[in-house]
Chains A and B, each alone.
Chain A
Amino acid sequence: MATDRTAKVTWSGSLMDGGGTIEGVGSGAFGPLDVSWSSRAEEPDGKTSPEELIAAAWASCFSMALSAGLARAGTPPERLETAVTVTFQPGEGIVKGAITVVGTVAGVDHAGFAEQAETAKANCPVSKALTGIPEVTLDATLST
């Protein structure tokens, strides 16, 4: 079954001097959130941006896929801490994604965890929508 999710954004004025608002999302989980070109391209100054939202989408999707893979292997995670960094080069686009995950998982060794993380990186729906990013790195470690 298909799943639809929605967001509404408004913008007023020129790119440099104007500003926008992510008015809200279908779930009601967040918004309104202000956005602007300067906070996207320079210091965020408390404002989110398309790249930060992509990082959040990716981190959340990857974490779910990894928990699914670990559970299928009989070793569901106690906790996964995932950070995703998205790098945007104006004029060029999104040039890099970096996924870092630290897992607390009983019964799996480092190699097994790293293998599951690679599978999640390759197969989560957000990863598959971002295959055009030229460089995607993964750093997967188990917490000690």
Chain B
Amino acid sequence: MPRIVRDANVAWEGNLARGHGALTAASSGAFIGLAYSLPSRVGDPEGKTSPEELLAAAHGGCFAMSLAGELTGAGTPPERLDVHCRITMDEVEGRGHLIVGSALEVRANVPGLGEEAFAAALDAADRGCSFSALLRDAGVEIDVTTTLES
């Protein structure tokens, strides 16, 4: 398959503490000019997104697609997958601020799927999600909890 290229743009004005930025999904236009700032990144979001929230959306989306792919390949496409992702950033002594964890909660409604096949699909989905692999490479702890409703 050909390479897939996606772009995003950010304009930032001012210093870190009092400045502010605006970010745009440049390839798709799916969001334009979303505001963000340091206080809303580390404190109360006050309706503003942040790098960590965007990573949560990316990882949730990547994992959901990877799991849908595995279940489809096994002949049991999902009726519905619900994936909740929580990204945690923390200050680590001597290393500054790091993304330390990504917690995925997966609720799956898959007609005809047994627990064993579900476990196998989850395992393959985690290995197949390119973003999971990158996060693990960087030492981010990935925690997947699941519920099968079928």
Contact = CB atoms under 8 A, between A and B. Distances in A.
Contacts of B77: 13-15, 18
Interface size class of A (residues with CB under 8 A): 35 or more
B87 A5 contact: yes
A137 to B, nearest CB: 13
Nearest to A86: B6
Given A27-B48, A54-B55, A129-B140, A3 B25 contact: no
Q: SS class of chain B's interface: helix, strand, loop or mixed? A: mixed
B28 A39 contact: yes
Nearest to B26: A83
Interface in A122-143: 123, 125-126, 128-133
Interface of B: 1, 3-17, 19, 21, 23-31, 34-36, 38, 40-42, 45-65, 67-69, 72, 77-91, 95-100, 130-131, 133-135, 137-138, 140
13 contacts: A3-B41, A4-B88, A10-B64, A11-B64, A25-B53, A28-B47, A30-B34, A47-B30, A53-B25, A56-B24, A64-B12, A85-B6, A94-B134
